[in-house]
Structure 1
Amino acid sequence: MKFTKMQGIGNDYIYVNCFEEKVPDPERVSQIVSDRHFGIGGDGLVLIMPSDKADFRMRMFNADGSEGNMCGNATRCIGKFVYDNGLTDKTEITLETRSGIKYLTLYPENGKVKTVLVNMGKAILKPSDIPMNAEGDSFINKPIEVSGKEVFITAVSMGNPHAVTYVEDVDGLELEKIGPAYENHPLFPERVNTEFIKVLDSHTIQMRVWERGSGETWACGTGACAAAVASVENGYFRRGEEITVKLRGGDLFITYKEDGTVLMRGPAETVFTGEIDV
């Protein structure tokens, strides 16, 4: 199987061009290729496929083989892949995901895409739509119990569920110990991604993320969007202003617009290409 490893600020996936390749058991293949000791190494597997609804279709699988609905960093990398490899010559494309159609604007430099702006659609705040086992129109800064301790979270869906919580020390967190308790919290029937946030100034937040099915990753595009939305809803920022989200792998730039739409801007990079026997 031919593949391309790509990363969006450290969120690295194995990408397969399914216009040319077939992947009959992607759940198992994702587990194989994601292994950083015995495989290629990555946060999961992304298939770039034909679509009858958009220019391209994305399927993404976490490192444990579970299929995800959406990955913001992967959308940017797909935009780069299809342009750089001649699958399109357009700089505005549509991408079908399990969370609906996403709209990408590509910014090439010297024939290669460097930056991609993604319209991520509208943020979802209603608990039943996230989904979570709670009632009401939103779940903003409400207490839950995690490992016997009370913490406050804001729940947001960007096509996949997120729990955003604010901490004083992002760097000192032992996510390997606390992450699984958040991920498998009974409030979230489909598990949850968790963002640990510190507000740095009037337009910047620092974030680490524990992703369901993958553990801690260096970046999460939908998580950065959820963190920005939560920070606006909690009164830290205003809608319509670009927020810098500083992750372990680099920075993303998020705008939560007045109509509820979220824009994500950031880089995409190719690491290497190759073949693997799976």
Structure 2
Amino acid sequence: MRFEKWHALGNAYVLVEQPDAGALTADRVRRMCNVLTGIGSDGVLEVVSRQVARAELRIWNPDGSNAEMSGNGTRIAAAWLLRESDAAEVEIDVGGRVVRSARTGDRVRQEIGDARVGADETLEIPGERVTAIPVDVGNPHVVVRRDLLSRDDLLRVGPALETHPRFPGRTNVQLARPESRDLVHVLVWERGAGETSASGSSAVAVGAAAVARGWCASPVRIAMPGGELLVEVSGARVVLTGPATFVCAGTTML
């Protein structure tokens, strides 16, 4: 099987184009993502079908589960399809949610669609009660504002909220520290992947929450350990802009 490896601010994905939608299994994905047994990545992007400038995408987490949405994953798929099709704009369909994307300089601008910010919720986790902001970006997120960010805090709060009874299907978690009216620093705990250097859908969730709560005004720069993404919020509609970088191509028998 031929593959390409890409990354978006250090968030690595393996992209495969398969004529048979059933060619990948959870076990195969786990082997491919494991650096000791396979290629090593934070997930797999399976191009189920494509027609010139439109592709249907299935997103796999490294634990073999499927993700409903990924900002970084769809941006990588868009960058790949923009190259393959030589089109000015492409569409990536993930479970019926269509993300329209185009090049803007060396970055990709994505019309993500709606991000729905819920009411604040107080949730009990070991050691504290946290004020959580649920955000639906096509996949579930919960944003927690912090005055200080630390990796130890993320490693404690992230898994506790991911598997909290409030989220029976699990959730992505973001710890957010607003720095100014246009900048938020963020640490990400990704459902099915754990600590992540960057996440596009997490950036969208934080940007939408920051504007909704009045922490920031659009556009908002979301600074993660891997780098920055730009989030533009207009009502519920969100546009995400960031890089997608080709790493290598190869074949695997996994």
Match of 1:257 among 222, 230, 234: 234
- Could you tell me whether the CA contact under 8 Å between 1:224 and 1:252 is conserved in 2? yes
**More divergent stretch after superposition (175-184 vs 221-230):** 175-184
With structure 2 as the length reference, what TM-score do the two structures score? 0.94
Secondary structure at the counterpart of residue 50 of structure 1: strand
CA distance in 1, matches of 2:104, 2:22: 30
Report 1:156-167 matches (<5 A). 156-167=135-146
CA distance in 1, matches of 2:210, 2:96: 23
With structure 1 as the length reference, what TM-score do the two structures score? 0.86
Deviation at 1:144, TM superposition (A): 1.0
Deviation at 1:89, TM superposition (A): 1.8
Runs of 5+ in structure 1 lacking a partner? Answer: 109-113, 126-137
Pair 1:123 & 2:115 matched:
yes
Pair 1:144 & 2:144 matched:
no
CA distance in 1, matches of 2:15, 2:190: 19
Aligned to 1:30: 29
CA distance in 2, matches of 1:8, 1:80: 11
Aligned to 2:74: 75
Aligned to 1:107: 104
Secondary structure at the counterpart of residue 100 of structure 2: strand
Runs of 5+ in structure 2 lacking a partner? Answer: none
CA distance in 1, matches of 2:212, 2:197: 25
Q: Deviations over 1:151-181 (max 9, x none)?
A: 1110001000000001122234343333211
Report 1:1-278 matches (<5 A). 1-19=1-19, 24-50=23-49, 55-84=54-83, 86=84, 88-98=85-95, 100-107=97-104, 114-125=106-117, 138-140=118-120, 142-238=121-217, 241-258=218-235, 260-278=236-254
Aligned to 1:111: none
User: For the structure 1 residues 248 and 263, does the alpha-carbon distance in structure 2 shift closer, same or farther, using more than 3 Å as the test?
Assistant: same
CA distance in 2, matches of 1:155, 1:178: 15
Deviation at 1:70, TM superposition (A): 0.7
Secondary structure at the counterpart of residue 64 of structure 2: coil
Coordinate RMSD, CA, aligned: 1.8
Secondary structure at the counterpart of residue 116 of structure 2: coil
Deviation at 1:119, TM superposition (A): 0.6
User: For the structure 1 residues 170 and 148, does the alpha-carbon distance in structure 2 shift closer, same or farther, using more than 3 Å as the test?
Assistant: closer
User: For the structure 1 residues 39 and 160, does the alpha-carbon distance in structure 2 shift closer, same or farther, using more than 3 Å as the test?
Assistant: same
Deviation at 1:27, TM superposition (A): 1.6
Secondary structure at the counterpart of residue 79 of structure 1: helix
Deviation at 1:26, TM superposition (A): 3.0
CA distance in 1, matches of 2:96, 2:166: 21
- Could you tell me whether the CA contact under 8 Å between 1:26 and 1:61 is conserved in 2? no
CA distance in 1, matches of 2:184, 2:209: 11
CA distance in 1, matches of 2:252, 2:130: 44
- Could you tell me whether the CA contact under 8 Å between 2:68 and 2:94 is conserved in 1? yes
Deviation at 1:213, TM superposition (A): 0.5
Q: Deviations over 1:195-238 (max 9, x none)?
A: 00011111000001101100011111011000011111211123
- Could you tell me whether the CA contact under 8 Å between 1:91 and 1:107 is conserved in 2? no
